[in-house]
Each structure stands twice: as structure tokens, then as C-alpha cells.
Structure 1
Amino acid sequence: MGTPIPPNKSLAPPQMQDDDLPDLEDWLPITASRNAKWYYSAFHNVTAMVGAGVLGLPYAMSELGWGPGVVVLVLSWVITLYTLWQMIEMHEMFEGRRFDRYHELGQAAFGRKRGLYIIVPQQLLVEISVCIVYMVTGGQSLKQVHDLALGNRCGKISIRCFILIFASSQFVLSQLKNFNSISGVSLVAAAMSLSYSTISWIVSAEKGVQKDVNYSYKSRTYAVPLDFFSALGEMAFAYAGHNVVLEIQATMPSTPERPSKRPMWKGAVVAYIIVAICYFPVALVGYRVFGNSIAENILTTLKKPKSVMILANMLVVIHLLGSYQVYAMPVFDMVESVMTKKWHFKPTRILRGFIRCTFVAFTMGVAVAFPYFSALLSFFGGFVFAPTSYFIPCIIWLILKKPRKFSLSWWTNWICIALGVLLMIMAPIGGLAKLIYQVQNDKLPNSNCNN
């Protein structure tokens, strides 16, 4: 692997020189508490990973086909598990120094200013895009519950109204102080994700392969190649936990005898096993049963048994309540850090409430304006998830760890970088084409109402 470079005091972020650092670090949501256990890592990572993306996997399979679909599904799981391990290892690669946030690791690799310019926009885009998609998914699931339970007895209600209903809960939950304070919410959310994923593939399997099932490529936008590209982004969106992994690890205690990477990796392995249990059956069984007639969200295809599908959609809503907060918390940390350390605002509840309510309102507004599920998955999955999950950790590893040229580690990282760059280029093209098509044709998923 080569010899790690020695600690460099100049790499420390600006807050390291702030006289008020201890007080602020105790106030900021990422570093306020460092008493998390290994199982916190497990359910935080499950909550971060298994979300809206798993519901779109069968649809992505229908756009890729059996061969490419299985390859992309398995390869994404392997590559992202490898890059997750890299980030966990690099959290404390210098003695006496912890990289509590993704951008701090980027600063160590790319330089103090360049690291911020490279990492912070990417990470913010990921976390904001996930929160937007979760708003849309929460609204979709609430609408499904309404339509299955009441039909048209209460009149036709737009999906946008249900997005507003889902968003109202986030204004309250966003006021929770820090990562550990949402551990209970995150645990429930992780259990919900496993539950509704299992319901999805079991109900699909019980229906059996449909008589008119067709596995051929079917253009849903402008052309089959664009659909193929968009499917890559939908797959990438399903693997998003890297953007909060360092922040999760920052909540764990660490000593020279027992560094935080041991419990963190233990929890991450458990999380990835659960991810495989959720992702693979949903993607493969859903596609086998329905073929290219599968909807963008598998739960919108499954209408019966009605009571079970109402339950599944409610489980999705409960899961998203917690998962939204897991992705929003690092954003809160960044903004609150800038406001208090750089702009010298007093760390008060009023400041925290204003910042967090503003963020929830922003993501709600974008979701209401663009409630197009798979198009958002495709575009964001390729444009911002591919860099942060697939290849930026590999670049940082090459810079900081300096593996021997042409060694196994060197080749592995460069292959991941090449595949990640291709994904970043192709997926947004398909996602943008799909978004334009759906906006032009006003094709709202799961909408039987006036919009």
C-alpha cells in the first residue's frame, strides 16, 4: 500500500484554530456526541442506503435488460462496498487526527481550498437531491395509501398535495439536535426499509410471472439508448451512503487501542448484507414477474392485496421520515458551521430553527415543482452520486495512501475511477432527456388526478 504521508498541520480546517471550537463542536450536529455503538453504524447506513432507490430497481432492470442489469446491479454493490471500506480506513489515517466530514478528507488530498471546492458542492448536491427525491417518494406513497384506501371517494387529489403533507412532518423532525438524537428514528427507518422491500418482492413472487410478460427493450422517452443511460443513474442512486459515512463514523468513540474504524466497518458490513437482501430480490423478482411493464415505483404496480400494499406504502413513508434526516443532518452541520464560525452568528435555537426550516421548505418547493420520480433518480444518480460513491474515494486513496504503481490496489482504484467517470457522463444524459420528456408531456408518476 505504500507509506502514508505524515500528518500535516496545515491540512487542518479553519475551525481548528478557533478559540471557541470546543463549545461549537459540542453544538454542531455531527460532533456533538461521540458515544455511538457499532450497530448505530449498521442502521444509519441501512437508512441512508435503502430508500427511494430500491423501489426503482425493477424499472431500471427493464431499461437495461437481464444481462447488463445483473452486471450493473452486482458491480455497483461490489464497487461501493470497496469505496466505503476505503473511506472508513481513511477516517483516522493520521495519528491524532480524525476526518469527521467528507470535505475534511478532501482537503487532506486536494489541498485546503481546492478540497472544499471539489467535495462540498458534490456532497451538498447529493444530500439535497436525496432529500428532494425523498419528498417526491413520500408524496407518492401517501397518495398510494389514499387511492388504495379511499379511491375517488374524496375526490381527485394531486400528488403535489401529498408532498406538502409529507414535508410538514420534516419541519418538526429537522429540529432534532444531532445524529445520535435521531438514532431511534433511524433504527425504525432501517426496519421499515427491510420490511417494505421484503413485501415488494414476496408479493411480486406470489403473483407469478405475468402471462403477457415481455423482456424486450421498450423506449419510454426519446430512444432506447437514452433509457439505458438513465437506468445507470437509477442504479447509482441506490448506493448513496458514502456521503454521510464519515459523519456517521465521527459519532463513534476512538482510542489508539480501539480505533473507530473497527466498529464502523462491522456495522457497515452488516448494513451491506441487509442492502443485498433488500436490493437483489426486489430488482430481480420484480423484473422477472412484470418485465418491461413494471412501473417506475414497484409499489405502484402492486395493487393487491390492498391491505398489504397500504401497509407497504406506509412503511415507506415511515422510513423516509428518518432517512430524510440522515441526509439533511450533514447539510445542517455545514450551514450551521459556516454561520457560527465564519459569519459569527451566535449558536442559538432560533438560528438552528431558521436554517433547518428554510432547507426543508426549499427541498419541498423543488419536489412540488418537479415530482418526476425516475427522471430525478437518473439525473442525480449519475451527476452527483457517481463521483462521491464510485470514484472520488479511489482518487483520494491514490493520493494519500500512494499504492505501488501497477499493484492490485493501484489497478483496482483506476478501474473504479474509469467506470465511475463513464457513469457520471452517461447517466445524466439519459436522466435529463427523461426529465424533459416527462415535463413536456406532464407525465406524473402514479397520478390519476388533475395537477
Structure 2
Amino acid sequence: MSKLNDSAHGNDLERKPSKVEEGVIGKHGSTSPLIEITHNDKWYHAGGHICTIIATPAAYAPLPFAFAHLGWEAGVIFLLLAGLVTWYTSLLLASLDRHDGKRHTRYCDLAGSIYGKGGYWSVIFFQQLASIGNNLTIQIVAGQCLKALYRLYHPECEPTGACGISLQAWIAVFGASQLILSQLPDISSLREINLVCTLCTVCFAVGCLAMSIYNGNTQVDRSTVSYDVQGDAKPKIFNIMFSLGIIAFAFGDTILPEVQATVGGDSKKVMYKGVSCGYAILLSSYMVVAIAGYWAFGFDVSPFVVFSFKEPSGMLAALYIFAVLQIIGCYQIYARPTFGFAYNYMLRPYEGVWSFHNVLMRAIVTTIYMAIITLIAAMIPFFGDFVAFVGAIGFTPMDFILPIILWQKVGKHSLIVSIVNWCIVVFYSIIAIAGAIGSIQAINADLANFNVFADLF
């Protein structure tokens, strides 16, 4: 933001920037073309964005499965620890707004201002990895939920039957719907959608709790439910690593500075309130869903807990619908960093957002993106494996490690604070490696057992 000198008072006065300066269509390495920064969003909009970004059905539903391979004590400890650490690191990241007198509207620009080109490109790499991996994962979930909803009311239809619709077809349907929404130019234009998605998040969590209690009491023989971690030593170790990746995925958030760029007033205070509200909802609902789902089905719980539920069918249908609606908003936000990276080179900053050239370039970029993600999701629809993999190698660096490294670089901190921070960095670096190993082992096992384009559900 440029400044004017007020010589009478010896102060610099900020003038209101133009839309181009604010990042409607920015230049490479400067401001973000993702967001038309009106500075009008409130703390609850920020909290809604955060909940929509993080709390997807793909984050909620595998948590009981993670508990099944960690056990009660370790499951609760690791989930609680992950939530508190990412809440803390999100506050650190929000506090870096205007650390050098400039407002950075992208995570990569913030890192670049602190660590130069190395910081800029490191964030670009991990952000793209996490964003693309997240959307690949949740598109598989959306396809599975749409297919499950269809089969719920067409039980006679088998995937290979005359009236069957394959998982791949449902994945493609979801991709087509996202292509249409992707023509919206910025995150702010999604805020009403994301508030609806946040409501769906809460409804999904409450529904999972209610269905776990109901099915656990009426549909499951309690004498057969086991909470022992089963299997030989080597598979147990890999499954523990795999589960740590699932928990890391549950708190994935790679675009908090992009969200912060949309808020008005004192952005730090607004984000502190929005982040704290968002994480209060996240952690409490995660814990409830994980505990209830694991209690209901024990070690035999499905990797996507909703698929363990049997009755009632109406509530089951509602859960599938809540899941798909929530994923719509999450998918759009996570697609924006990738879109923006391409827009930096392809859009014309001197033309309006809705000019023919910019609309055409947006359509080309989004079509290529959707085609690639949809093809990969249809080819290897291994939902649980990708959750752990993306959590380990994408979200763990972005959410648990990089915010602390950036914050430590900016100013002087007490010895105790620095020791705690670097212990977190080391610990979650180990977690990232372990989660990656476990998820890669699971992907290899599935590739050996299933054909490409397998109709898994």
C-alpha cells in the first residue's frame, strides 16, 4: 500500500489503493490475483472461511479410523495436540501481517518478505502440493458420497448393472459443478457460500455424533466391538504412521494470509478472534466425532465413518448431502492458490476482472485444472491413502512447521519460547516423515490390489 507524506505532522498517510494495486490481478511475486481486497469481511467471515477450509468431511470422517490404529489414549493426545499446535501457529502467522510495513496478501509473499526467494518458492511448492492433493482427496469423497446417495434409493442398482452409475461418473459430475463455480474471481465472492458450508460442517459433525450413538446401540452387537489395535507388529507400525498423517490432514490450512487479506479493521485482532472461534469449533467437533465413531464400531470402523452407518436412511442421506455441500466450498478455496499462480502470468492487470480476455483465460486455466484433478481422482480413488499422504507432506510443513520458522526469523524471542517452538518443529518434522512413509506403503498396497479406474464403492 503506497503512502503520502503529511509534512505538517511528520506522519505517513495511507491512501486507498486501486483494485489492481490491491490484487484483483497482481504481478508475479507481488499481490494476489485471487482476492478483490475490499477489507470488508468480519471476524465471523474469517472464521467461516477457516472452518470451510479445514473441517471437511474428508477431515472428520477418517478420525475414528485413526483412533482405531492409535488406541484411545494416543488418539486423544495426538488429536488434541495437533489442534492446539495449529491454533498456536495460526496466531503466529496472523501476527506477521504488516511485519515489514506492508500487507502481504499471499502466504508465499509473506515468506518471501522474510526469507527471500527461498521462502517464496518453498511456500509455493508446499502450498500447491497441499492444495492440489486436498482437492484430489475431497473430490474422491464427493464422488463416493454422491454414489452412496444414489444407491441408497436404488438398492437394486449394482455398479456393473444396467442402471448402475460408476464412481468415476460421479467424480466427473462433481468436477463439472466445480468448473462452473471456479469462474468466480476471488475468495471474497465465496463468502456467502462458505457460511452455508460452515453450517453444513456443523450439521455433518452433529449428524455423525447422532448416527454413531444410534448405530452403536441398535445396529452393532456390543459384545463383538474390540478396541484393541490388531495386526502384526510391522503393519501396526505402518498404520500408526498412516494415522498420524490423517490427523495432520484434519488441520490442513495453507492460505490463512489470503483469508486475512479480506478482513477489515485491525486485521490481527480480527484474525485472532476468527482463528480462535474457528479452532474452538474444529477441535471440539473433531474430538466428539472421533470418540463417538470409534466407540460405536471399534477397530472395525470404516476409513470414512459414514460408510459404517446403516440406519436410518433419511439421516444417512442428509449426511451425504451435507458432505457434498461442504466440499463444494472447501474445494473452491483450495483451488485458488493454483489458479492464482497461473493468473499471474495470463491475466491482464489493466483490464477489468470480467473483461473478455480475463474471463477466457480464467476459463482455460480452470478447465485444465478440473480435467487433470478429475482424471487422477477417477484413476486411483484411494481416499484414505491420499488423506494421510497429503496431511504428511503438504499440510504438516505448511501448518505446523513454516509458521514457527517465519515467526522466529522476524524478531527476538525469549529462550524458553524459542526452545518450545523448535521442539514443535522437530517433533512435527518427524511426524511428517512417519506419515509419508505410512501413506506411501498404503498406496503401494492398494495399487497392487486394485486396477486403475477401480469402481471401489
C-alpha deviations, 1:204-231, integer Å up to 9, x for none? 1123363311112234997111111000
Q: Flag structure 2 segments of 5+ consecutive residues without an equivalent.
A: 1-17, 26-32
CA distance in 1, matches of 2:204, 2:298: 21
Q: TM-score, normalised by structure 2?
A: 0.87
Tell me what 1:145 maps to: 149
Q: CA deviation at 1:416?
A: 1.1
In the alignment, which of 261, 266, 277 is matched to residue 250 of structure 1? Answer: 261
Whether 2:138 is the aligned partner of 1:134: answer yes
Q: TM-score, normalised by structure 1?
A: 0.88
CA spacing shift, 1:315–1:365, aligned 2, 3 Å: same
Q: CA deviation at 1:402?
A: 2.8
Tell me what 1:109 maps to: 114
Whether 2:71 is the aligned partner of 1:43: answer no
Q: What letter corresponds to residue 380 of structure 1 in structure 2?
A: V
In the alignment, which of 123, 143, 163 is matched to residue 119 of structure 1? Answer: 123
Tell me what 2:272 maps to: 265
Secondary structure of 2:24's partner?
Answer: helix
CA distance in 1, matches of 2:386, 2:456: 20
Q: In 1, are the aligned partners of 2:379 and 2:452 still within 8 Å (CA)? A: no
Whether 2:186 is the aligned partner of 1:161: answer no
Q: CA deviation at 1:32?
A: 4.3
In the alignment, which of 302, 308, 324 is matched to residue 301 of structure 1? Answer: 308
Q: CA deviation at 1:253?
A: 2.7
Q: Flag structure 1 segments of 5+ consecutive residues without an equivalent.
A: 1-19
CA distance in 2, matches of 1:152, 1:431: 35
Q: CA deviation at 1:284?
A: 0.7
C-alpha deviations, 1:5-50, integer Å up to 9, x for none? xxxxxxxxxxxxxxx9836823422244332111110110000010
1:71-110 pair list within 5 angstroms: 71-95=77-101, 97-110=102-115
CA distance in 2, matches of 1:74, 1:318: 27
Q: In 1, are the aligned partners of 2:397 and 2:429 still within 8 Å (CA)? A: yes
Q: What letter corresponds to residue 418 of structure 2 in structure 1?
A: W
CA spacing shift, 1:385–1:219, aligned 2, 3 Å: farther
Secondary structure of 1:176's partner?
Answer: coil
Q: CA deviation at 1:53?
A: 1.1
CA distance in 2, matches of 1:437, 1:220: 16
Q: In 1, are the aligned partners of 2:35 and 2:185 still within 8 Å (CA)? A: no
Whether 2:256 is the aligned partner of 1:230: answer no
Q: CA deviation at 1:346?
A: 9.2
Q: CA deviation at 1:447?
A: 5.7
Q: CA RMSD in A?
A: 2.5
Q: What letter corresponds to residue 315 of structure 1 in structure 2?
A: F
CA distance in 1, matches of 2:388, 2:245: 4
Q: Bigger CA drift: 264-273 or 30-39? A: 30-39
CA distance in 2, matches of 1:162, 1:399: 46
Q: CA deviation at 1:334?
A: 2.1
Secondary structure of 1:92's partner?
Answer: coil
Q: In 2, are the aligned partners of 1:140 and 1:446 still within 8 Å (CA)? A: no
CA spacing shift, 1:193–1:229, aligned 2, 3 Å: same
Secondary structure of 1:402's partner?
Answer: coil
CA spacing shift, 1:403–1:23, aligned 2, 3 Å: closer
C-alpha deviations, 1:148-207, integer Å up to 9, x for none? 111133644322221111111001010112111111111111111110111011111123
CA spacing shift, 1:56–1:217, aligned 2, 3 Å: same
1:315-354 pair list within 5 angstroms: 315-340=322-347, 348-354=358-364
In the alignment, which of 419, 431, 444 is matched to residue 427 of structure 2? Answer: 419
Secondary structure of 1:26's partner?
Answer: coil
Q: CA deviation at 1:110?
A: 1.5
Q: CA deviation at 1:443?
A: 8.6
Whether 2:365 is the aligned partner of 1:358: answer no
In the alignment, which of 53, 57, 63 is matched to residue 69 of structure 2? Answer: 63
Q: In 2, are the aligned partners of 1:30 and 1:333 still within 8 Å (CA)? A: no
Q: What letter corresponds to residue 244 of structure 1 in structure 2?
A: I
Q: CA deviation at 1:340?
A: 4.0
Secondary structure of 1:119's partner?
Answer: helix
